[in-house]
Every structure is written in structure tokens, then in C-alpha cells.
Chain A
Amino acid sequence: MSEPIVALDGVWRVYDMGRLQVVALRDIDLRVAPGEFVAVVGPSGSGKSTLMHIVGCLDRPTSGEYRLASTPVGTLDDDGLARFRSRTIGFVFQSYNLLARTTALDNVAAPLLYQGVSRRERLARARASLERLGLGDRLDHTPAELSGGQQQRVAIARALVTDPALILADEPTGNLASDQGAEVLALFKELHQAGRTIVLITHDHDVAAAADRQVHLRDGGIVDRPLAA
């Protein structure tokens, strides 16, 4: 088996709140192989978001080692982390997180801006990415002019435009009506079939069922199977 994309070994994340120490993640071991579609499932407060921040290189482990695409993330400084993040990870957020008052095309092109890609190439790649997601006729629409499902597809187009090693999705269907949510979920399955590596974080077992493999999180640790609700 080839080198995993995501490799967490004994990762802890402890928040120091003055006298109180809050353990958000305890001793996490997690591996995601290339081409795998993994769902991280857990109720709120289980440490999902913290795990997503660490996997997404937005935060660093308190202890333990995290290797993303064979790079030990702990050795990078903030700027190095930002650069590495922009090349390696495509984010899809629950609340889409598109730039307001900015067209779909410019939103999708934005990550390439920080990679120093020329404007002409940026726009060409952003257009191609949007067209692949069936948004070829919405290039000049701002987020306010798009439905929730369309906004999330723009966000997915943005995540894909850099051709990242890992797609990291945080409750991507959480803000969507069920039919639009199903569409987005179908899109993730398509991406998976096209060979993308996806980590999807959710509290919804039905959503998690779309993945190959489910990792259950409870009280900051990985458990074998979910406790009965």
C-alpha cells in the first residue's frame, strides 16, 4: 500500500484555559490512504471540529505527529503552513465561506492568486472547474445571487481548482435542504470515483454512510462504533 495522505500518530490537542485544561483530542491515530473517502462522525463536542482544524493545517497538535502527504506539518511555520495548505488541501465548509460581493469566477480563482498563478490562467482554470460542476452559466453571479446548493458547488469548485491531494469537507450538507444536500453528496461520490481523496466531517449518520469508511469520534477519542443515541 502506498504512503497515506493523512497520517496522525498519537495526536493530542489540549486547550489551556488558565487553570483548566480542556482535552479536545486524545491520542488519535488516523490514516487515510490515497483515493479513500473517509467520514469522521460524532456528536457535537466530540472533537470533530478540532480534528478538522488539525487535519486542515489550521491548527497544530499539542503533542503527537501529523504527516500530510508525507510532510511533517509540525516543522512548518505559519507562512509555510499557509502555503502548504493552499497546495495540498481543498476546503469545503458548512457555511460555504465564499467571498461576499465577489463573482463565482473570482471566488474559485482566489486560491490560485495565493499560488502566484497568472490572471489569465487563474480565470481559465476557475472557469473549467465551475463548468465541470455545471455552473458554467453562473460565472458572474455573486454568492447572494445563488441558491445554497449552488453556493456549495461553487465552494467545491474552489476546493478542486488547485487540484489538491485532499478534499476536506466540514458538514458540507449541514446548511442545505435535503434535496440539495443529496445533490452535493452525490457530487462527493462522483469525485471519489474519479480518484479524489476525501475526508468528510459530519454528525449525520446518513451523510456518513456515503463514505467507504467511517471513523467515530466521541469525547475526543476514536471509538470502534457509535454508542446508541
Chain B
Amino acid sequence: MSVVELVRLALSRIGSSRLRAALTMLGVIIGVASVVALVAVGQGATSGITARLEGLGTNLLTVTPGSSTEGFTRRAAGSATTLTVDDAKAISALDGIAAVEPEISTQQLVQAGTLNTTTNIVGTTADFMPVRAYTIWQGSFLTDASVNAGLRVAVLGSTTADDLGLDASSIGSQISIGGLPFQVAGILQAKGSAGPFSQDDQVLIPLATAQHYFVQGESVRSIGVSVADADQMDLAKAEIQSALEQRHGIAADGTDDFTIQDQAQLLSTVSAVTTTLTILLAGIASISLVVGGIGIMNIMLVSVRERTREIGIRKAIGARGRDVMAQFLIEALTLSLLGGLVGIVVGVAVSALIGALAGWGFVFNPITPFVAIVFSLAVGVIFGVWPARQAARLDPIVALRYE
């Protein structure tokens, strides 16, 4: 008997008891759907987080002032004011560094017409845009000329611009920052938030301007470094470390008063965590697949009982044991496969919904349904073989007499 004949037989059998077939398949449907959905959600979350971290800047190293020790008290990270504009200049002189931007920041009231908001004012250089991976939406970014001259020009984050009612037509208009007039040079493209901090609610002004009017002294909040080659990250990190240790007079085995954060490191840590979580969730979901398989086995065993007479008739008219076995096995496989297909559709729909709600979009991995199909077929075989053997072994005389 060909597989086509057997599938036809199985489908007509399933068609004649639809409710039972649907209930039997439900276990597999739930199992496959939850595996597919959880894997997709896990991958969606991973790629969402990855995209956001990449959005922070490519090949990015961030140098921040580290912990400082005064007397016997070790202060929290960021408390030191040891990082200076000159450190940034020294870093930019190193090999393999593409761009460097020092940042200082302050909170100020910003006014435009009748609207106002209090936000982060960042004093930086023209390299801020490439290092932090921003793009300009309207107007232009800070230029080297405006930075060097310490002009009162400002580039606004998209959220800040919205809050102040500024749009494309506002380029060149006057706003007030901390009571001082500034000219709007440009508005940045929106980027979304990274963690709790909005990357779009800030105002960028030339470093020298910020130092002159708002933050006195040479110390900076952080230095963003863009490394020319992604493969050279570790090397660049080591170079920066030794250069700063030398400048700050710290011995190679001493405690650094700065911290260098590696974007790639953070990225791999995050993706390792989410991958582990995804596997864990899929593992839990696959338990329901096993339960679904037991449901199929149960119903097939009942079916063998109920259809004892049919088996007897089929044997009397020439079915061999293996024909009967194949018939019941294909029936179990058809049930699990149909369940698997429905489960994939449900799982994809659920993951698309969750992706849309969570805002990381819909990630479809073609491997997942493939694996799900293989799994549901395996469930069909594993839990279908035993009932099928029971059917195949029936003695036709006994089976025919069975009422």
C-alpha cells in the first residue's frame, strides 16, 4: 500500500470524527504553538535589544570617570572628576581610533516661544554624531568651526523638539537655554530609548560653549571613542587604558580612576542571556508537546479497541500485519502533523501579535516551523507505534468475533 493511499484513508477517518480529531490535535497544537511563539518572542527580544545597543554607536568604547579614593573611603563609580578634555585629545592621537567625542552635561530650562522644558544639555564636538550613531533630520549638526568658536548654536533631539513645538521650519530660529539665546542649527532623527534613558530628549551644544556658560572646569562626563576596525576593539581598549594610566600617573597594577565600557562585550552578554532564556522557555513549552503526544497515543489506543472489528475485516480481506500497522501509524502521524501545522500558524500569529505590542516587530525564523514539524512528526511516530503494533498483532478470528 502506498503512503498516498494510507494518508487518504487517515484523512477520511479523521474527517468522519472531526471533533475527536480536533481535541486530540489540541495538545500538539498548543505544544507547537507555544514553542514557535516563545522562540520567536525570544529571538525578537534579542534582535530588538541588539538593534538598540547597536544604535548606541558602532565599535563604541565609552570611557567614564571611575571610582575615586579619598583617604580610606572609596566612592561610587562616576564620582571622580578625573577625565578631562585633554584626555580626549590624547585618545584621539592613538592609532586605530576613528573619532572621539568628550561630553559634559547639565540640566537647564529650555524655552521656545511660550513652551518650555527642562532637559539634558550636552556639550560636545562634531564627532558626537558619528560616534553615537545619530543622523540629522533637519538643518545641520554642530560643525568643527562652531565648536571651536564656542558659538551659541544648538542641535535638538527629536523629543525635545516636539516638546518645544519646533519643526523643520524652526531651523535658524531662536530658543533660550538657561536664559541665554541660542540659534537652532538642526534637529536629530528619532532613535528610540535605550533602557530607561531617552536618546531623543537632549540638546547638543558646542563643548566650549557649555564650559563657558554652564559647567566650569576641564572635567568631562564621558568620552565616546569610535574604533576604526571592529576586530581591533581589545587592542584599542588596552591602548586607551595604558595611555590614560600614564596621563593620570597610575601604575599598571594600580586601581584605575576610569572605566572603559565595550559595546560588543555588553552585546554578547545580553544575547547570551536572552538565548539562554529562549532555550529555557522553549524547553518548558516542549513539555506540552510531550503531553500532546500522550493524548494522541491515548486516543489511538482507544481507537484500536473500538475498531477491532474493522481490523478483523481488513485482515480477512487481505491486509497483512504491516498494512494495519502502517494504517494506524499514518493516522497518528497525520493527526500530529495537522496539529503541528495548525500550531505553527497559531504560534506565528501569537508571536507577531506580541512583537507588535512590544514594538520590536515580527521576526520570522524559517527554521522554527521546520523544527516544529520534525518534532510533531517525531511525536506522532513515538506515540503512534505502540497502538499501531497492538492493532497489527490482533488475531483476525478474535477481531471478527469482537462485538
Q: Which residues of A contact B253 (CB under 8 A)?
A: none
A113, B1: Cβ atoms closer than 8 Å: yes
Q: Which residues of A contact B16 (CB under 8 A)?
A: 101
Contact residues, B259-316 vs A (CB, 8 A): 309-310, 312-316
A86, A99, A116: the one within 8 Å of B313 (CB):
A99
Q: Does A66 sit at the interface, judged by CB under 8 A?
A: no
Q: Does A16 sit at the interface, judged by CB under 8 A?
A: no
A114, B396: Cβ atoms closer than 8 Å: no
Segment with Cβ contacts to B, from A76-84, A176-184, A193-201:
A76-84
Decide: A79 near B310, CB < 8 A? Known: A58-B396, A114-B1, A116-B1.
no
Complex CA gap A174/B310 in Å reads 21
B310, B318, B320: the one within 8 Å of A100 (CB):
B310
B5, B309, B316, B320: the one within 8 Å of A91 (CB):
B316
Complex CA gap A87/B318 in Å reads 8
Contact residues, B322-361 vs A (CB, 8 A): 322-323
Decide: A82 near B318, CB < 8 A? Known: A99-B313, A100-B310.
yes
Q: Does A153 sit at the interface, judged by CB under 8 A?
A: no
B309, B320, B397: the one within 8 Å of A97 (CB):
B309
B318, A78: Cβ atoms closer than 8 Å: no
Q: Which residues of B contact A79 (CB under 8 A)?
A: 320-322
Q: Does B400 sit at the interface, judged by CB under 8 A?
A: yes
B312, B318, B322, B397: the one within 8 Å of A86 (CB):
B318
Nearest residue (CB) in B for A170 is B400
The interface on chain B, measured as residues whose beta carbon lies within 8 A of the other chain's beta carbons, has a size of 20
B320, A119: Cβ atoms closer than 8 Å: no
Residue-by-residue, is A93-109 near B (CB-CB < 8 Å gives 1, otherwise 0)?
10001111100000000
A86, B317: Cβ atoms closer than 8 Å: yes
Q: Does A61 sit at the interface, judged by CB under 8 A?
A: no
A114, B320: Cβ atoms closer than 8 Å: yes
Q: Does A218 sit at the interface, judged by CB under 8 A?
A: no
B317, B397, B400: the one within 8 Å of A114 (CB):
B317
Q: Taking each of B314, B316, B397, B400, which has the highest tally of chain A beta carbons within 10 Å of its own beta carbon?
A: B316
B313, A78: Cβ atoms closer than 8 Å: no
Complex CA gap A113/B323 in Å reads 10
Complex CA gap A93/B400 in Å reads 10
Q: Which residues of A contact B313 (CB under 8 A)?
A: 97-99
Contact residues, A25-67 vs B (CB, 8 A): 53, 56, 58-59
Q: Does A216 sit at the interface, judged by CB under 8 A?
A: no
Q: Does B319 sit at the interface, judged by CB under 8 A?
A: yes
Complex CA gap A131/B183 in Å reads 98
Decide: A111 near B310, CB < 8 A? Known: A59-B397, A93-B400, A101-B16.
no
Q: Taking each of B321, B322, B323, which has the highest tally of chain A beta carbons within 10 Å of its own beta carbon?
A: B323
Nearest residue (CB) in B for A119 is B5
A100, A119, A158: the one within 8 Å of B317 (CB):
A158
Q: Which residues of A contact B317 (CB under 8 A)?
A: 86, 91, 110-111, 114, 158
Q: Which residues of A contact B310 (CB under 8 A)?
A: 99-100
B1, A58: Cβ atoms closer than 8 Å: no
Complex CA gap A158/B318 in Å reads 12
B316, A58: Cβ atoms closer than 8 Å: yes
Nearest residue (CB) in A for B6 is A113
B316, A78: Cβ atoms closer than 8 Å: no
Q: Which residues of A contact B316 (CB under 8 A)?
A: 56, 58, 85, 91, 97
13 additional contacts, CB 8 Å, given A82-B319, A114-B314? A59-B397, A78-B320, A79-B320, A79-B322, A82-B318, A82-B321, A82-B323, A85-B316, A87-B318, A110-B314, A114-B319, A114-B323, A158-B317
16 A/B residue pairs, CB under 8 Å, sorted by A = A53-B397, A58-B396, A78-B320, A79-B320, A79-B322, A82-B315, A91-B316, A91-B317, A111-B317, A113-B1, A114-B1, A114-B317, A114-B319, A114-B320, A119-B5, A162-B318
Binding site for A on B (CB under 8 A): 1, 5, 16, 309-310, 312-323, 396-397, 400
